[in-house]
Structure 1
Amino acid sequence: MADDLDRDKVAKAYARWAPVYDLVFGQVFERGRKAAIAAVEATGGGRILEVGVGTGISLPDYRRTNRLFGVDISEPMLRKAQERVVAQRLDNVEVLSVMDATKLAFPDGWFDVVVAQYVITAVPDPEGTLDEFLRVVKPGGEIILVNHIGAETGPRKIFEAAFAPLARKLGWRPEFPWQRLRTWVDRAAGVHFIERRPMPPLGHFSLIRFGKALAPPQMQAAQ
């Protein structure tokens, strides 16, 4: 279900954010980032794909035993991430690449975990993006999101609707409803909901986890 966010406009918006992203959003999003990484580590880690890796602000916080792959639509953001990898000698970062989240250049079932922080409301096709996450995560693996979820009622819902046109120019949609994720789970094959946990500030963000079903025994034997 694509909507009125445009891929090129989003890329240009985040190119503008690149020089100041850590300063503007680093502290605001820190609790959510750390919660997502803790959730990744609780799975046992392994080969991790971070979609929307941006400036790589999360990369130093993963255990060095993980193998990290980062993709983003914004080349200027990724240049910042590469500088961070070099400066902090993050030798567990294997790939940093410009990539469309709906067309990931990785094999099926390649990753133990796919993590996307503050991404799903900033892509033109959230459901298509989630489909691609599900494709590249292995059976038994997890998809871990941290994301703003739009209000269902009240003044915040009114504000988000009014703010939406400006927010799209900044590269995201503020009125993203929880029902879109529930509908995706209901129609996607082989995925189940694990948890939704409110995150600061003010619970407007959520840590969300989905699990990919294990392959049936006959398919496991064939593998």
Structure 2
Amino acid sequence: MDLDAVRNSYARWAPVYDATFGRITHAGRRAAVRHINDRGGHVLEVGVGTGLSLEAYDRAVRVTGIDYSEEMLRKARARVARHDLNHVGSLHQMDARTLDFADNTFDMVAAMHVLSVVPEPEAVMSEIARVLRPGGQVIITNHFKHERGVWAGLARAAAPLENLLGWHSDFEIESVLQDPRLRVIERRELPPMSMMTLLVLEKRLN
């Protein structure tokens, strides 16, 4: 998937995202934010979108968000202002493959339903590992390829439409597990009907 396709797709989806994909991905966001709230600290949300998760963070958690879509970010900034979300420090337009943050900046990184919509997810994971402090955690929620069952059939049918839809329906989980600095400490399926997966990865201390 190329960057122009991502930009165009999310410009189309921005006006209706909350009522469509936002509803489908609610359980994943809720599980990810609950995990982050239990730990606290400074979190980077990669692919903050329209800011659907921002109200759910504990006010003691400091949140920085990035997204490539200005249309999505306008909605997120409006949400922050409307609900007076003072724990949200800043929201930036940024390519997740080249994060403009120093090494070891964040205690946690959240990537909720974004890794299957970006070009070069391996490069995004490398940048996430770079800006995460040693001992910090990456919380990922995403749809990954199913080998059989109803989701496998739907993914095969949707695969040719990925640029139109704006996401990889047959996204391989191995794409986010290749960075040697990160190790899996939790993996579990999420509703609806195990469509989504939650992963917790921890950055090695050395």
In the superposition, the TM-score normalised over structure 1's length comes to 0.88
Distance (Å, rounded) in 2 between the aligned partners of 1:149 and 1:123: 14
Aligned: 1:164 with 2:159: yes
In the alignment, which of 68, 73, 77 is matched to residue 78 of structure 1? Answer: 73
Deviation at 1:154, TM superposition (A): 4.5
Deviation at 1:141, TM superposition (A): 0.1
Corresponding residue for 2:11? Answer: 15
Residues 33-52 of structure 1 mapped to structure 2, 5 A cutoff: 33-42=29-38, 44-52=39-47
Deviation at 1:20, TM superposition (A): 1.0
In the alignment, which of 163, 172, 177 is matched to residue 177 of structure 1? Answer: 172
Q: Secondary structure at the match of 1:120?
A: coil
Deviation at 1:155, TM superposition (A): 5.0
Distance (Å, rounded) in 1 between the aligned partners of 2:26 and 2:201: 22
Q: Is the 8 A contact 1:10 1:170 kept in 2?
A: no
RMSD: 1.3
Matching residue's letter, 2:188:
R
The alpha-carbon distance between structure 1 residues 156 and 59, as it changes in their structure 2 partners (threshold 3 A), is: closer
Matching residue's letter, 2:141:
V
Deviation at 1:101, TM superposition (A): 0.6
Deviation at 1:190, TM superposition (A): 2.3
Aligned: 1:200 with 2:196: no
Q: C-alpha deviations, 1:87-111, integer Å up to 9, x for none?
A: 0001111111110011010000000
Q: Secondary structure at the match of 2:92?
A: strand
Aligned residues: 206
Aligned: 1:191 with 2:182: yes
Distance (Å, rounded) in 1 between the aligned partners of 2:44 and 2:138: 10
Q: Is the 8 A contact 1:150 1:204 kept in 2?
A: no
Identity, % of aligned positions: 44
Q: Is the 8 A contact 1:152 1:177 kept in 2?
A: no
Corresponding residue for 1:114? Answer: 109
Q: Is the 8 A contact 2:145 2:155 kept in 1?
A: yes
Residues 90-109 of structure 1 mapped to structure 2, 5 A cutoff: 90-109=85-104
In the superposition, the TM-score normalised over structure 2's length comes to 0.95
Q: Is the 8 A contact 1:197 1:208 kept in 2?
A: yes
Aligned: 1:6 with 2:14: no
Q: Which ranges in structure 1 are unaligned for 5 or more consecutive residues?
A: 216-223
Corresponding residue for 2:25? Answer: 29
Deviation at 1:180, TM superposition (A): 3.2
Q: Secondary structure at the match of 1:142?
A: strand
